[in-house]
Amino acid sequence: MTTLLYTHELCLGHDTGPGHPENPDRLLAVWHALEGEAFAPLVRLEAPRASPQEILRAHSELYLAQVMNAQPAEGERIHLDPDTVLSHGSWEGQLRCIGATNAAIDAVKAKQGDNAFCAVRPCGHHAERDRAMGFCIFNFAAIGALYARDEAGFGRVALVDFDVHHGNGSQHILWDEPGMFYASTHEAHHYPNTGYAHETGLQAEVVNVPLPAGSGSNAFRQAYEGTILPALTAFQPDIILISAGFDAHAADPLADLMLTAEDFAWITRKLMAVADATCEGRIVSFLEGGYDLRALADSSAAHVLALMGR
């Protein structure tokens, strides 16, 4: 089993300022977690710089222009929404997030690796077509899904999101796109208060399983085994993408689900089994949330070890 790891130091340049939960220490924690001997087989690759035109796969020209025209000077920051910061280094870091995602899709298609993990930041799944939200500037998950269909030639693309917050932006962008599957478990009645079970898509197939606050392993695993995995298998994807947020961990300060690192390893193995049965094992995963550094490190390590077949 060959697992590719895409990342780039420019992702550290997104400077959110003192006290912000989404900060460069998150990526440093993930890097440190993947340094041990168990991770020696990882194929470590530098994320390429995406063309700004790639952003237009999922975002409007007006929104792209707004972000480009708002670039702050060195040492300055502006807010795109109450939670989402733009700094001088954000632009180049975002292009590496998108570049990592698209390059990983190409590499998995070319069988250069069995699967891939993109250690990038900030998260992206809240960003909608025309606006930033919830720490997210550009939605590299949705960009990657559309790239997989339109450039890599995968007719049926699945995006599975186990971040504790519903990926409203991914759902919003993919909602009326043919050949798309989006599924999410997330804490019910929590930010951004979307992702209800009745939200099922227009042309995309959308499956949402909101979990009550306080839910732990049993509820999480039942949501997948009872609802999402059967729907994903029936969809017969050509590739599976994962929005891998680890903020559903019991230690995370921003939410109230009670998962452990082993739950993230479990769902990774389950998604790999579906991928093996439907799409020659093709999986590309990318980092979304996770704001307790120890929990983030442990969960990322468990996820990547599972991708490696460990």
Neighbouring-strand partners of residue 78: 86
CA-to-CA separations, 227 to 63, 124, 160, 222, in angstroms, rounded: 35, 25, 12, 8
Per the annotation, the verdict on 126 as an active-site residue is yes
Q: Other CB atoms closer than 10 Å to residue 285's CB: what's the count?
A: 26
DSSP state of 190: -
- Cα 294 to its chain centre, rounded Å, is 19
CA-to-CA separations, 26 to 7, 30, 67, 195, 298, in angstroms, rounded: 13, 7, 24, 26, 12
User: Rounded to whole angstroms, how far apart are CA atoms 139 and 50?
Assistant: 13
Q: How many CA atoms lie within 13 A of 3 on its CB side?
A: 24
Annotated catalytic residue, options 126, 186, 190, 303: 126
User: Rounded to whole angstroms, how far apart are CA atoms 30 and 251?
Assistant: 16
Catalytic residue positions, numbered: 126
